[in-house]
A and B are shown apart, each in its own frame.
Chain A
C-alpha cells in the first residue's frame, strides 16, 4: 500500500507541476487542483499508513490510526476548494476583460 500511495502522490504532483508551468490559465487551474489532491493524499500518509484500525485508543484494538492528519486533510480540502473557485472566477474575469488567457508578469500599469 505504501508503494500505491507514494506513486499516486508522485504522479499527481508531476502532472500538477507540469500543468502549472503552462502559459494558459485553464491548464494552470487544473494543475493547481492536481497539486492539491497530491498534497491531500500526502498529508493523509503523514500519520503513517495502517489498515483497519480505530482512530481512537481502545482496549480491544491492537493499535490506532492517527486522527489528526485526517482533520488536517479536511481543512486543506475546504481551503483548496475555495481557492480553486476564486482562481477560476478571477481567471475568467481576466480573460473576459482582456481577451487573453495567458499568465504573464505584466509590465507595470497599462
Chain B
C-alpha cells in the first residue's frame, strides 16, 4: 500500500497552520514556504499521475480499516488527472499572486491558499461519499476566506451571498447523503454501487430522490442552470487570482458527477436515467445563458464569469450523454477550459490594476498596452474555442462523439451558436478596451513579473495542442474506465468483501 496517496492532502494541511502560526508577520517567508509547498504538491500530483497512468487503481485505507468499514482514498486516472490540473493551476495562480503582490492586500492569503489545495486534493482522491462532503467543506471554508481577501464593500456583500448559497448547498448534500445511507446502508461509493445493483425495485423511490438531491448539490457547485445565479457576482467580485483559482472549483462539481453517477447510478441501475434526462437540457440552457452573458456583460470581470458558465455548459453537454467517447472529449475540454478561464481572470486582473476598473468603455491607454492586448487576444481565442488553441479541438471532439446521439442536432447547434456568441462578445470587449484608445502612452508601472502566471497558463494550453493526440487517447482510456467500474469496485473492496 503506497503512502504517497495521502501526501497531497497532508502536505498543505501541515503547511497551512505553519504559515499561520509561525511566520504570520513575515510575508517573505510566507511566500517562500507557500511556493515551496505548492511545488511539492505539484511534484506529488505528478508522481501519482505517473503511477496511475497505465490504469492502475491504488487504494489507501486510512487507519488500515478495510472498506467499506473505513474511509479509503483512491488514486485512479480520473482522480490524478484532476489533481495534476489543480497543481498546475495553483502554480500559475501563485506565480501571479507573487508577481502582483495580491497577498500583501490582506492577511493569511497563503494559509488559506494551502487549505484550498488540501480540500481540492481530498475531494478528488476520496472514495467515500461522506468524506467527499467533508473535503467539500474544507474547500469551501478556504474559498470563503479567499473570496473576501482584500476586503471592500462590493466584495464583502458578494461574499455573503456566496457563503449563504453554499451553506444551503451543504444542507442539501447532507440530506442527499442521509437519504442514500437510509436506502443502501453504506457511504463508500464502490460499496454503494454493489448494494444498489442488488436493491429490490420497490425501494427505487427513495433512491431516486437521493440521486436527484445529490445531482442538485453538484449542479450548484458546477453552476448549472437553474443554479448558476451565484457565480457571476462571486467571480467578478473575487480578487482576480482567486477567481482564477475558482476556475477549478466549478470543475469539482463536474468531477463529482463523473465519479459518482457512472459508478453508483450506472446506466442499467434503477436510477440510471436520472443523470442524462436532467443534465442534458440543463447543460444546453447553461451554455446559452453563459454565452449570452458574455455578449451582454458590461465589464470584463462579469464577462469572464459568464464565459465560465458557458464553458461549463459545453463541458456538461459532453458529460450528459454519459458515453465513454463523449466523456473523453469532455475531459479534454475540461483541461482546456480550466486553464483558459483562469488565464482570462488573470488578464482581467492586470487590466484592472492599470485602468482601475473593467468597464467595457474606451479608457486611457494602458502601460504595456500592446502586451496586454496581445495577451487578451490570445486568451480570448482560447476561451471562444478557436484554432490554434485546444478549445477548438475539444469542441470538435465533443461534436464528433455526440454525432450519433438522437439529440445531436440540438447539441451541434448549441455548441456552434454558443461559440459564435462568445466570439462576438469577446471581440466587442477587446475593441472597447484596447482599440479605441488615445495614442499617448501612460507612465510606466513597476511590476515586471506580473505576467508570469498568464505565460504559464498559455504555455500549458500550447502544450495541450501540441500533445493533443496522445493526451486525447489517454483521456479516452480514462473515460472508458469510468464506464467500466468493475476494476474500481474490486480494488476498493478487495478480497470480495461486500460482493
Could you mark each residue 88-109 of chain A with 1 if its beta carbon is under 8 Å from any beta carbon of chain B, else 0?
A: 0011011001101001111111
Q: Contact at A103–B161, with CB atoms within 8 Å?
A: yes
Segment from B2-10, B169-177, B318-326 that makes contact with A = B169-177
Q: Contact at A90–B163, with CB atoms within 8 Å?
A: yes
Residues of A within 8 A of B385 (CB): none
Neighbour of A106 across the interface among B134, B158, B174, B182, CB < 8 A: B158
Residues of A within 8 A of B430 (CB): none
Known: A79-B134, A108-B298, A109-B301. 5 other contacts (CB 8 A): A20-B164, A20-B168, A35-B168, A103-B157, A108-B302
> Once bound together, how far apart are the Cα atoms of A103 and B161, in whole Å?
6
Residues of A within 8 A of B141 (CB): 82-83, 86
A44 to chain B, nearest CB (A): 9
In the complex, which of the residues B156, B158, B160, B299 has the most CB atoms of chain A within 10 Å of its own CB atom?
Answer: B160
The residues in A between 60 and 100 inclusive whose CB is less than 8 angstroms from any CB of B are 68-69, 72, 75-76, 79-80, 82-83, 86-87, 90-91, 93-94, 97-98, 100
A17 to chain B, nearest CB (A): 9
Residues of A within 8 A of B352 (CB): 109
Listed by A's residue number, 23 A-B pairs whose Cβ atoms lie within 8 Å are A32-B164, A32-B171, A35-B168, A39-B171, A39-B174, A43-B178, A45-B182, A48-B182, A68-B187, A69-B181, A72-B177, A83-B141, A90-B160, A94-B156, A94-B157, A106-B154, A106-B161, A108-B236, A108-B237, A108-B298, A108-B358, A109-B301, A109-B358
Q: Contact at B358–A106, with CB atoms within 8 Å?
A: no
B384 within 8 A of A: no
Q: Contact at B156–A108, with CB atoms within 8 Å?
A: no
Residues of B within 8 A of A35 (CB): 168, 171
A100 to chain B, nearest CB (A): 8
Residues of B within 8 A of A107 (CB): 233
B167 within 8 A of A: yes
A14 to chain B, nearest CB (A): 14
B357 within 8 A of A: yes
A-B residue pair count with CB separations less than 8 angstroms: 117
> Once bound together, how far apart are the Cα atoms of A106 and B152, in whole Å?
13
Residues of A within 8 A of B409 (CB): none
Q: Contact at A109–B163, with CB atoms within 8 Å?
A: no
Residues of A within 8 A of B179 (CB): 46
> Once bound together, how far apart are the Cα atoms of A36 and B307, in whole Å?
34
B105 within 8 A of A: no
Could you mark each residue 285-313 of chain B with 1 if its beta carbon is under 8 Å from any beta carbon of chain A, else 0?
A: 00000000000001101100000000000
> Once bound together, how far apart are the Cα atoms of A36 and B302, in whole Å?
32
A52 within 8 A of B: no
Interface of A toward B, CB cutoff 8 Å: 20, 25, 28, 32, 35-36, 39, 42-43, 45-48, 68-69, 72, 75-76, 79-80, 82-83, 86-87, 90-91, 93-94, 97-98, 100, 103-110
Provided the pairs A46-B181, A79-B134, A87-B167 are in contact, do residues A104 and B299 lie with their beta carbons within 8 angstroms?
no
Residues of B within 8 A of A69 (CB): 178, 181
Residues of A within 8 A of B151 (CB): 97
Provided the pairs A46-B182, A90-B148 are in contact, do residues A109 and B160 lie with their beta carbons within 8 angstroms?
no
A108 to chain B, nearest CB (A): 5
The residues in B between 257 and 308 inclusive whose CB is less than 8 angstroms from any CB of A are 298-299, 301-302
B137 within 8 A of A: yes
Q: Contact at A87–B175, with CB atoms within 8 Å?
A: no
B35 to chain A, nearest CB (A): 28
Identity of the chain B residue whose Cβ is nearest the Cβ of A79 in the assembled complex: B137
B229 within 8 A of A: yes
A54 to chain B, nearest CB (A): 18
Residues of A within 8 A of B164 (CB): 20, 28, 32, 87, 103
Q: Contact at B134–A109, with CB atoms within 8 Å?
A: no
Q: Contact at B160–A103, with CB atoms within 8 Å?
A: yes
The residues in B between 183 and 228 inclusive whose CB is less than 8 angstroms from any CB of A are 187
Could you mark each residue 99-137 of chain B with 1 if its beta carbon is under 8 Å from any beta carbon of chain A, else 0?
A: 000000000000000000000000000000010001001
> Once bound together, how far apart are the Cα atoms of A68 and B191, in whole Å?
15
Residues of B within 8 A of A28 (CB): 164
Q: Contact at B153–A36, with CB atoms within 8 Å?
A: no
Residues of B within 8 A of A45 (CB): 178, 182
B159 within 8 A of A: yes
Q: Contact at A98–B153, with CB atoms within 8 Å?
A: yes
Provided the pairs A79-B134, A83-B167, A105-B229 are in contact, do residues A110 and B160 lie with their beta carbons within 8 angstroms?
no
Q: Contact at B233–A105, with CB atoms within 8 Å?
A: yes
